[in-house]
Structure 1
């Protein structure tokens, strides 16, 4: 085999791998979720926003960026560590990617801070999911787990 044939084979294999990753990500995103725009804080005004979807689990929230080829979620947040901060409307340059009907809320996840932009219905659903989490103190011990009698 010539060097050009080897380069061509390697190129075809790499392109096939990228196509498979893209297809897998597309199928993953098509399974549904809540459309959001997320950015990590601190960030420059109007910068750092990433379109994606949130998927809620029993105790975990995952974020998939639309522009990523990563096989799994781009962010994973544990429900017990999430706290909501201030709510605001889009400002200045944010109107390039958002409308005035969007709600932006600050989100604290343990030691990380984010801002998340939702439409009104998705914002209500998200706050309900966060606020309805069970308190860590309200968990009952399993029967026979050696508690006081």
Structure 2
């Protein structure tokens, strides 16, 4: 009888955790201006290090939240001030194991460090518009997003 109770409690805890993750995603998405976005957290192994998430545009910031995290705040914040798009490319065969085939990988350079982000082709247009809409005086020839290289 104790084994059945233990299994029941374990299943209940697992369901509560899944419900909490779902509720967190709903709260983030409800605020509007969200897109699905993958961020490469590690470049140690080629084609690996990608983490799925949800990004929300908030003024001059793009706030990225990991999908499978209980932390309520963003894991990474990209400010469009000083953000430039270096290049764009399609996913490598190894990256296609974790990224959808219709996604595009964009390498951005910010004031902190370079970052690779992956998003759907249709979301890329909105992202580039957001980067380009930097406040006056922030956009210089080297930070304009339309000057990127492909592959």
Aligned to 1:145: none
Contact 1:36 1:51 in 2 (8 A): yes
Helix, strand or coil: the match of 2:87? Answer: strand
Contact 1:42 1:113 in 2 (8 A): no
RMSD: 2.9
Helix, strand or coil: the match of 1:133? Answer: coil
Contact 1:21 1:71 in 2 (8 A): no
**Rg bigger for which structure?**
1
**Length-normalised TM-score, structure 1:** 0.71
Aligned to 2:121: 120
Contact 2:42 2:50 in 1 (8 A): no
Contact 1:41 1:113 in 2 (8 A): no
Displacement of 1:23 in angstroms is 6.0
In the superposition, relative to structure 1, how do residues 41 and 20 fare at CA in structure 2: closer, same or farther (>3 Å)? closer
**Length-normalised TM-score, structure 2:** 0.70
Displacement of 1:88 in angstroms is 0.5
In the superposition, relative to structure 1, how do residues 22 and 40 fare at CA in structure 2: closer, same or farther (>3 Å)? closer
Between the two proteins, the alignment pairs up a number of residues equal to 127
Give unpaired runs (5+ residues) of structure 1: 1-14, 139-149
Aligned to 1:107: 108
Aligned to 1:27: 26
Displacement of 1:135 in angstroms is 2.9
